[in-house]
Structure 1
Amino acid sequence: MRLFLCEKPSQGKDIARVLGATQRGTGCYTGAGIGVTWCIGHLVEAVPPEAYDDRFKIWSIEHLPIIPSVWRVAVKEKTAPQYKVVEALLAQSSELVIATDADREGEMIAREVLELCGYRGPIQRLWLSALNEASIRKALGCLRPAAETERLYHSALARSRADWLIGMNMTRLFTVLGRRSGHGGVLSVGRVQTPTLRLVVDRDRAIESFVPSAFWTIEVELTFQKQVFLAQWIPPASGADAAGRCIRQVVAQQALHSLQRSSEAQVIDVQTQRVREAPPLPFDLSTLQQVCSSKLGLDVQQTLEVAQSLYETHKATTYPRTDTGYLPENMLAEAATVMEALIASDPSVQALIQTTDIKLQSRAWDDKRVTAHHGIIPTLEPFRIQGLTATELAVYKLIRSHYLAQFLPHHEYDRTCVQLSCSDCALEANGTRIVQQGWHSVFIDQVVTLEDSELSVQALPALCVHASCSLHQVKIKPQKTKPPRSFTQGELIKAMKGIAKMVTDPRLKQTLKDTTGIGTEATRASVISGLLNRGYLYKKGRSVHASESAFTIIDSVPAAIADPATTAIWEQAFDMIENGQMTLDGFITKQTQWINQLVEHYRTTTLALHSTSGPVCPLCGASMRMRTGKHGGFWSCTRYPECLGVLPKAQPTSNTRRRTRRRPPSSDR
């Protein structure tokens, strides 16, 4: 029997239908010489330390580090019945086709089961980007040898074992150290979760310590040939900061008085630039999560679940867990079929589609930029759009719009900058004039792209050098600099993906690629959800903030583990294993050595917990910590936002415990 091993029941059902395996069994479909079954996600999991040795049931620093000599996995209790189904079918199979998701995790889900079951028969790989019938038939016609994707499995194992080594050893180490210092809970440490937490802790601290600076702007209302427009005063360098803001009130007041005594401004320079704006790429998962967070208010996990539903349940869009928005060049030939499917699914888009040109080849079609997957786009076949929920429909329309934009002209506009002089004061006016709407027509009433132009909507009159403009009104505006914005979940995803841009160390910046991130498209949402569920992050409106325990963890763990650059370098190592440039054993050996060094280095450390020795919350009795608001310092309950207890700042407490931090050993990656 030829057995197809899928990841989820829904995949199994779709593939079985195409194969003609119509007989439904327990946990499988069968047909003439064909079997289709599934794993329901991970059927097996890495065993905990106590499975290797009973003494590890007690958390003790003396037992650390815990390094398995032979790595073990065990069947998950919840899915044990399905594992038995797969095991029995494998015993009857003469040939296997791995049909799990086409990524590292999908490869690992299948191959760990095959290893545990001892399957030794021939293996092929089905590589799917969509679950509609045409895509399945196309993929079945070009099955890959299993050897081509085996390194994906090794890469996933490297990720899994690195997570285990850091999570099990560092969590036990710092939890025990925390208990010695009076912390009663678990201090959970993770390879990806801790650097992600560090991003939020650093941002919260930057906001809390931010001191606003005053600056002044002057807005001038001008008229030329009966058309009113606005100009901004340009302060002299002697009164401005590096960003060009006037930071000296006396300079702004002098300019205000000078302008108020004037009635005209002279144009001294006019510069107009024609700008051609290319359409945004189709979505990768991270970009989709950012847009849905910003525009639809969705959590990143919600966006992933909706995208997965559009892919699996409705067959409306392609595989969502992709890290690129680019498309294979040969898929351009399928554009006409996709357009027909879009109209059949939703006739209301027919008029818009008639304005597209499928002969256009945007920058999205680039084989060199396509990875194992391509951008998220609509599928080749119609689907029942009425079956979508309101949220699914909103996300589907975003995906569809980004695809249709590829077949419309560039958006073109003229950007004009006018320099004026008025009573020895320099003024500047900016404006735009749309020349061709182009792909922007797809986004009418729907701002969805992260590449939106930051343009003034002001239309300027036809100004020329030496023209005189009448001055009508002058306004001075006292302003203050603003602190960094709190992370939303979408912005946190963006920071995780683009972590290389945030690294300041010149050596690391050279090592990291611009595309290197922490976590993967498949895992970032679950990392953020895990931090929320553990109480290390909490939501306030659309933003996320670090809890008291988060500050304790970040202040306690080795800097290298909390440093996002470290995890980004690991992600590069996983890519190297996938590409054959590094071996799994070599990577784990180096990580084992590093874990040994860290345990020895921190074994006798005394933690200084972040929680204060300040007053007790009058509402719930928990401890309080000092925070800074717009009116100065105050005590806030450490259980905020669940508890809103506050007290005014009193005399400083004696909470002066400090921990002398020794320099930890660096990871030899």
Structure 2
Amino acid sequence: MRLFLCEKPSQARDIAKALGVRGKGEGCLTGAGVTVTWCIGHLLETAPPDAYDPRYKQWRLEHLPIVPEQWRMQVKPKTASQFKAVKRLLGQASEVVIATDADREGEMIARELLDHCRYRGPIQRLWLSALDDASIQKALAALRPGASTFSLYHCALGRSRADWLIGMNLSRLFTLLGQRSGYQGVLPVGRVQTPTLRLVVDRDRSIEAFQPVAWWGIDVKLEAARQVFIAQWQAPKAACDEEGRCLQQPIAEAAKAKMASAPSAQVTDVRTERMKETAPLPFDLGTLQQLCSRKFGLGAQETLDIAQALYETYKAITYPRSDCGYLPMSQHAEAPAVLAGLKRADPALVPLFDHINPGRRSRAWNDAKVSAHHGIIPTTVAPNLDKLPPRHRQVYTLIRARYLAQFLLEHSYDRTRATFECAGETLLATGKQVIEPGWKRALPEALAAQPGREPAQPLPPLARRDQCPVRDVQLKNNWTQPPKPFTEGDLISAMKNVARLVEDPKLKQKLKETTGIGTEATRAGIIQGLLDRGYLTKAGKALAATPAGCSLVDAVPRAITDPGTTAIWEQALDMVQSGEMPLEEFLARQSAWMSKLVERCKGLNVTIEGQAKAPAWKKKRKPAGARRAPAGKGRKRTAPAE
């Protein structure tokens, strides 16, 4: 019997349908010689410390560090019945096709079951990027050898166990140290969670320490060819800061007085340049979360949940947990079918299709830049927008617009920069004239304008030595602005681009290659976990660290809050995945590093201000003092805190 092992029930139903499997069994769908079964995320979890030694039920400093000699897995109680069904089917299978999500965590979900149930038969891999029937059939016709993705399992297993070592030991350590000073509650520490919290703490402190500085600007209204436009005063460099802002009020007032009495300004130079902008890439998850946060006020987890529903329930988009915006060249052949489906589903798009060229190949199609998953794009199953919930419709419309943009011309415009002399002062006016809207035709109107920027003004025809009458002169008193508080979208962006904060060039490059700290699949859960525990608060869109969050960042060793640590881990995990480093060696190094850290920190005095709150899922449990540190929220948690 050939057994397809899927990650979740909805995925199993889609694959069974494509296989023509219609019979129902216990925890599976059955057909002639083929059975499709499913997990529910991880059916197994890393055993807690007390599974290795009952004395670890009590949290004590003398027990630390806890390093398992032989790692154990245990069945999750909530899904034990499905585990039994899968185990029984594995015992009957002559061949297994791993059909979990096509990433390292999906690989682990399947492989840990095969190991735990001691399956030793042939294995193949189904690598899916979308769950519509056409995509499934295409993947079924190109099954991969199981060995081709096995290294992903060891990579995921290394990450999971290292996270367990850090989270379990340091969470216990700092919880116990906090209790010495009267803090009640668990202090979770994790490789991704703690550096993420530090990002917000650092931003809040930079806002608090910010000292505003006054600066002055002058707007001069000029006229030419019966059109009024605005030119900005260019202050002398000696009076300006690094960003060209005039800090000396007397100089600005004197310039304003001179120009207010001048009859006109003379054009000294005019330069017009034809500019072209290529279409933005299709979305990766992080970019989608950032835009949905900015435009719609959606939280990172909310955006992920909506995208997951569009993928699983509506079959309307491809795999959403992608860290890549590029598309494989082979996907371009499917473009006419996708475009036709979009046009049929929404008559409002018909005028746009007068400008769309299905044969156009933008920079998005690039095999060399496609990672495990390609950009998030629509499938041929285009939904009726009126039948989508409002938030789902908003997110889908963004994804659709980015895809349609790939088949439109470049956006082109003429950018004009004109300089003027007015009473011995220099003025600059900039203008923009759109020549070809191009891909911007596809974008919703709300997305076309840059946030925080006024639309560029068109300039009248100008030539050197033209005299432009002065119609008004306005002196503006401004203040430098502090950094803005993080929104969830901003924090996602900061996690992705955390390499900017790392000085070591090798670690900086590694963080760029691995797209920062966390993954597309876990970042939303990390942020939500910090909110749920009370280390972050949210007012409107703005995030802020609580006193407990600030204290925790101050108490934890910098090695844990430093994103460079994640870069070092990822370098080692890359070596595990490539076969350069055995999994056992990686874990031995992690254990030794963590053990030294624990011993160094046992004597610290830890004071935590305020009181964090227990997550809602934890409130019904017994007091934390007799339990292991809690796991962060997320679909695939295997460690107490990532």
User: Per-residue CA shift, 1:333-388, capped at 9, x if unaligned?
Assistant: 11111111212332332332232001211100000000111001111344454432
User: Per-residue CA shift, 1:385-421, capped at 9, x if unaligned?
Assistant: 4432111111111111100100000000011111111
Q: Which amino acid aligns with 1:464?
A: A
**1:488 corresponding residue in structure 2:** 487
Shift of 1:511: 5.1
Shift of 1:585: 1.9
Q: Does 1:521 align with 2:515?
A: no
Q: Which has the larger displacement, 120-129 or 500-509?
A: 500-509
**2:318 corresponding residue in structure 1:** 318
Structure 2 counterparts to residues 418-567 of structure 1, below 5 A: 418-447=418-447, 456-506=455-505, 508-509=507-508, 512-513=511-512, 516-567=515-566
In 1, the alpha carbon distance for the partners of 2:83 and 2:575 equals: 32
Shift of 1:573: 3.1
Structure 2 counterparts to residues 94-173 of structure 1, below 5 A: 94-173=94-173
In 2, the alpha carbon distance for the partners of 1:51 and 1:592 equals: 19
In 1, the alpha carbon distance for the partners of 2:412 and 2:511 equals: 35
User: Per-residue CA shift, 1:439-489, capped at 9, x if unaligned?
Assistant: 11112424179x889675201111111111101111111111111000100
In 1, the alpha carbon distance for the partners of 2:609 and 2:438 equals: 54
Shift of 1:62: 0.8
Structure 2 counterparts to residues 201-350 of structure 1, below 5 A: 201-350=201-350
Equivalent residues of 2:401, 2:444 under 8 A apart: no
SS in 2 for 1:407: coil
In 1, the alpha carbon distance for the partners of 2:399 and 2:18 equals: 26
**2:617 corresponding residue in structure 1:** none
Q: Which amino acid aligns with 1:536?
A: Y
**1:377 corresponding residue in structure 2:** 377
In 1, the alpha carbon distance for the partners of 2:266 and 2:514 equals: 48
Equivalent residues of 1:290, 1:494 under 8 A apart: yes
Equivalent residues of 1:111, 1:153 under 8 A apart: yes
Q: Which has the larger displacement, 33-42 or 566-575?
A: 566-575
Shift of 1:180: 1.2
**2:406 corresponding residue in structure 1:** 406
Q: Which amino acid aligns with 2:21?
A: A
Q: Tell me: CA distance 1:384–1:122, structure 2 relative to 1, closer, same or farther (3 Å).
A: farther
Q: Which amino acid aligns with 2:70?
A: V
SS in 2 for 1:513: helix
In 1, the alpha carbon distance for the partners of 2:392 and 2:605 equals: 50
In 1, the alpha carbon distance for the partners of 2:253 and 2:348 equals: 57
In 1, the alpha carbon distance for the partners of 2:240 and 2:382 equals: 59
Q: Which amino acid aligns with 2:606?
A: L
Q: Which amino acid aligns with 1:525?
A: A
Equivalent residues of 2:510, 2:570 under 8 A apart: no
Q: Which amino acid aligns with 1:522?
A: A
In 2, the alpha carbon distance for the partners of 1:420 and 1:446 equals: 34
SS in 1 for 2:168: helix
**2:629 corresponding residue in structure 1:** none
SS in 2 for 1:529: helix
Shift of 1:505: 4.2
**1:644 corresponding residue in structure 2:** none
RMSD: 1.8
How many residues in Structure 1 have an aligned counterpart in Structure 2? 613
Gaps of 5+ in 2: 614-642
SS in 2 for 1:472: strand
Equivalent residues of 2:511, 2:517 under 8 A apart: no
In 1, the alpha carbon distance for the partners of 2:260 and 2:343 equals: 60
Shift of 1:92: 1.0
Equivalent residues of 1:518, 1:571 under 8 A apart: no
- How high is the TM-score relative to the length of structure 1? 0.89
Q: Does 1:397 align with 2:397?
A: yes
Shift of 1:27: 1.6
In 1, the alpha carbon distance for the partners of 2:92 and 2:508 equals: 52
In 1, the alpha carbon distance for the partners of 2:299 and 2:448 equals: 16
In 2, the alpha carbon distance for the partners of 1:158 and 1:604 equals: 29
Gaps of 5+ in 1: 612-637, 641-669
User: Per-residue CA shift, 1:31-81, capped at 9, x if unaligned?
Assistant: 111111100111110111111111111111111110111111100000001
Q: Which has the larger displacement, 316-325 or 506-515?
A: 506-515
Q: Tell me: CA distance 1:225–1:283, structure 2 relative to 1, closer, same or farther (3 Å).
A: same
SS in 1 for 2:447: coil
More relative contact order, 1 or 2 (CA 8 Å, 6+ apart):
2
Equivalent residues of 1:516, 1:572 under 8 A apart: no
Q: Tell me: CA distance 1:444–1:62, structure 2 relative to 1, closer, same or farther (3 Å).
A: closer
In 2, the alpha carbon distance for the partners of 1:108 and 1:448 equals: 41
Q: Tell me: CA distance 1:89–1:387, structure 2 relative to 1, closer, same or farther (3 Å).
A: farther
State the percentage of identical aligned residues: 54
**1:570 corresponding residue in structure 2:** 569
In 1, the alpha carbon distance for the partners of 2:243 and 2:582 equals: 48
Shift of 1:552: 1.1
Equivalent residues of 1:75, 1:83 under 8 A apart: yes
- How high is the TM-score relative to the length of structure 2? 0.93
Equivalent residues of 1:22, 1:30 under 8 A apart: yes
Q: Tell me: CA distance 1:506–1:29, structure 2 relative to 1, closer, same or farther (3 Å).
A: closer
Q: Tell me: CA distance 1:527–1:444, structure 2 relative to 1, closer, same or farther (3 Å).
A: closer
In 2, the alpha carbon distance for the partners of 1:524 and 1:185 equals: 24
Q: Tell me: CA distance 1:289–1:2, structure 2 relative to 1, closer, same or farther (3 Å).
A: same
Shift of 1:566: 1.5
